[in-house]
Amino acid sequence: MLLIPAIDLKDGQCVRLRQGDLDDATIFSEDPTAMATHWLERGARRLHLVDLNGAVAGKPKNEALIKAIVAAVGDDIPVQIGGGIRDLDTIERYLDFGISYVIIGTAAVKNPGFLHDACGAFPGNIIVGLDARDGKVATDGWSKLTKHDVSDLAKKFEDYGCEAIIYTDIGRDGMLSGVNIEATVRLAQHVRIPVIASGGVTDLRDIDALCAVQDEGVEGAILGRSIYEGTLDFEAAQKRADELQP
């Protein structure tokens, strides 16, 4: 089970949101680059970056900071980035300066042709982010709920050649209310590619629950508020996950 610390970027700071609400942001660090090296030193094997300003603007807004973070962690661990990625030039630019995986969310749903082209142009580097409430996909920073079923879209995007699916339960994100195991497993059973859980991970009980369904295709989890507020110790969590490796 790959546990991935999240660094959400807003106005140059590391923040966490509640249910994706930009107006409900808690600042955890004014130095996101130092935060990235902090997680690296504690054994992180991948980092998850989100350009929150970019997600709203529809184009990168924290690119210089993202570049600095990638430079700081060097070649030690892969870095994945999402938020405001709407064209192939942006993907190419990110990959050129060392990003390993580019996450396409809203654009994948609204413009599947773009996702198809991205998977073809950059095989092995594209992850799709599907954010859902009650099984229906949301877009535009979670402000719009579509009629698309999350499992149907995941299957379609798998066929395009995406590397993995990040599944976020909107209702639980940033709420420390426990991960939605049932919905995550249901999605993982519909696809052959890895599913990474996001939203609601709170403590070691969630790590135990995720590891118990790893054989279903749930291969990782993104950790946010829990590791910043201290309800989950990252090093202890990764150690537990390694011990429970099937």
Instruction: List, by residue number, the catalytic residues.
Output: 8, 131
Distance of CA 34 to the CA centre of its chain: 20
* 3-class state of residue 61 by DSSP: coil
Q: Partners of 142 in the beta sheet?
A: none
d(CA 81, CA 67): 11
Residue 210, CA distances (Å) to 53, 137, 185 in order: 30, 22, 9
Q: Which two tokens stand for residue 145?
A: 């709920």
* 3-class state of residue 210 by DSSP: helix
17 within 8 A of 8, measured Cβ to Cβ: yes
H or E segment and range at residue 220: strand 218-223
Angle between helices 181-188 and 150-160 (to 10 degrees): 40
Return the residue matching tokens 């942006």: 90
DSSP state of 74: T
According to DSSP, the β-strands at 126-133 and 136-139 are: antiparallel
